[in-house]
Chains A and B, each alone.
Chain A
């Protein structure tokens, strides 16, 4: 029954998409077996829908309806368009890794001049050259989810980045996803390993080249943060307005480490970031903050599963949604505290600002606590801008829109301020201001 529901009149069934993609997917033998198994796992549910608890508020079967054909390998014209697009987000001094329609574009990336201690391989090369050995693990994850399974089945390329033990990167790694094609889907899967005692910032952008529309993005990242390491991961999602972007990120954090994840979604028609984070080493610190800036009929979902598997870790989640028109924001945050994870300190806060009567915010915090000596809490609010603050600002000469913009900036600032790097924080603030200016 599920297979039938994935079909619709205007698109092929997912199974024919998978069959048609075979010639383009790297890896044979065991890797191909893993892909087939992953696709079978996807087909058992099809596009996730509201009766699957984790997808209750983001019903892809209703919102998306079909799985689009796999994007082709970008040609020279596509790469030229991608090059123009990345200029708007490229960070000076960063090590850029560019994926165009899900395929690593070596000519647009800085792989020839990597900082010392950093290595980058492409997923395609790894799967192709070692297909009869055990590299199928690159497509396997502990978490199970239909869209992650679909990603494993169709992952076309990606990068495997290693930051060696003790390496302190002074400038960020920047992973830029660019879409150049329309009405096609991309599937990428990347791995990032931050070695013991290493320190790095990873910026991830998702953007569209001019003219790219109505594409589907399914990008996965598997990230390991070693003991005594630190990773700041900032994601800025600015897809074209009619796009579906479902990204999955899986983190495993070692002992005495710090992971700071920040996501801002301001583009796309339907977006979801699902992050599965396991705190696997003691005395580590996790910060996950997010901002959704949505208007029109945009739908944005941030879903977190934080697993405190060991004692003595802290986690903080702070999420803000600003919703105009008929936009819909979803925040789901589950904190699991395992029986052994004593002295866990986990706090979660989600706040939504509704700028229109027709906007909708859904928040679902969940605490699953099996240990008895923990401090955990969560809070959620939703409301309009405070009229008394607005009037104060207007009475001081700020026109209404400008007064609103200042208050909205302050509201999202509570989530942005956790980004420690001044330059990255300013970039995020500037991106939020772009959204506000488009509103004025």
Chain B
């Protein structure tokens, strides 16, 4: 069954159209990789799904669990289960990571009509997850991502994913800026979250990440459209032959 249906999506940034009628279906419980050259619209797609301002949707629709996603504010999308792991997570000085995590989790729960977590329950949960991800406790006392290394920032994103338990995770260029060790830790964290109730969209330029997070389906994007879809072997094919063939096709 489809978790996310994107139909003929057209998106402009200022006066330039970036997505020219993109159609994509993400199945429940599956990991979909989206590959493509720089400028193909991969990050735009992730931002539009998450609701980032500055993008004008001029046509098409996005249905999430059958509901009109584009009609929802970013916080409503988060509460419904959409999670974007940022390519470059921002630093927020003065907002302690723990405060941020608790505020965000309880805001989502409140929006869903669920009870807010008590402080001891919350702390226990965060400690468990951060231990699995090898995140030191003192990091959680610091401002959100302030002074974190690239790897630590990505692990902090995975920590949030584990805490919020979204039904759709979008990983935007998760491998950018990470060395192999950092990548492996982050990827292990992501793999631990794979489940029949959770879908993932793994956006990447390189095949390397897909050695660690093995996708069920691979899509190739070029010039604002999905130009080819296939199994995980498609990623290897791309690694060998490059994107040039699709640039011509699109």
Task: Mark A residues whose CB is within 8 Å of B.
Answer: 386-389, 391-400, 402-403, 406-407, 409-411, 413-414
Contact = CB atoms under 8 A, between A and B. Distances in A.
Contacts, number: 77
A389 B94 contact: no
Interface stretch (B16-24, B49-57, B181-189): B49-57
Given A395-B78, A402-B107, A410-B94, 5 more contacts: A392-B89, A395-B50, A396-B75, A399-B75, A406-B103
A410 B78 contact: no
Nearest to A387: B53
A394 B92 contact: no
Contacts of A398: 75, 103-104, 107
A394 B51 contact: yes
B90 A388 contact: yes
Nearest to B79: A397
A392 B93 contact: no
A397 B95 contact: no
A389 B94 CA distance: 12
Given A387-B53, A389-B90, A394 B75 contact: yes
A397 B86 contact: no
Q: Which of B74, B92, B143 has the most CB of A within 10 A?
A: B74
Contact of B95 (A399, A400, A407): A407
A414 B78 contact: no
A414 to B, nearest CB: 6
Contacts of B143: 410
Contact of B111 (A395, A397, A409, A411): A397
Q: Helix, strand, loop or mixed for chain A's interface? A: helix
A57 to B, nearest CB: 28
B180 interface: no
Contact of B108 (A387, A397, A400): A397
Nearest to A417: B94
Given A406-B95, A410-B95, A394 B90 contact: no
A394 B73 contact: yes
A126 to B, nearest CB: 45
Interface of B: 50-53, 73-75, 77-79, 83-84, 86, 89-90, 92-95, 99-100, 103-105, 107-108, 111, 143, 160, 164
Given A399-B73, A399-B75, A399-B107, A406 B51 contact: no
Contact of A392 (B73, B86, B105): B86
A392 B97 CA distance: 13
Contacts of B92: 389, 392-393, 407, 410
B195 to A, nearest CB: 20
B84 A395 contact: yes
A307 to B, nearest CB: 31
Of the listed residues A386, A387, A392, A403, the one surrounded by the most CB atoms of chain B closer than 10 A to its CB is A392
Contacts of B99: 406
17 contacts: A388-B90, A389-B90, A389-B92, A394-B51, A395-B77, A395-B83, A396-B75, A396-B164, A397-B75, A398-B75, A398-B104, A399-B75, A402-B107, A406-B99, A410-B93, A411-B94, A414-B93
A-B pairs with lowest CB-CB distance, top 4: A410-B94, A397-B108, A397-B78, A394-B74
Contacts of A386: 90
B90 to A, nearest CB: 5
A407 B100 CA distance: 10
Contacts of A411: 94
A407 B144 CA distance: 11
Nearest to B80: A397
Contacts of A395: 50-52, 74-75, 77-78, 83-84, 86
A398 B73 CA distance: 10
B88 to A, nearest CB: 9
A388 to B, nearest CB: 5
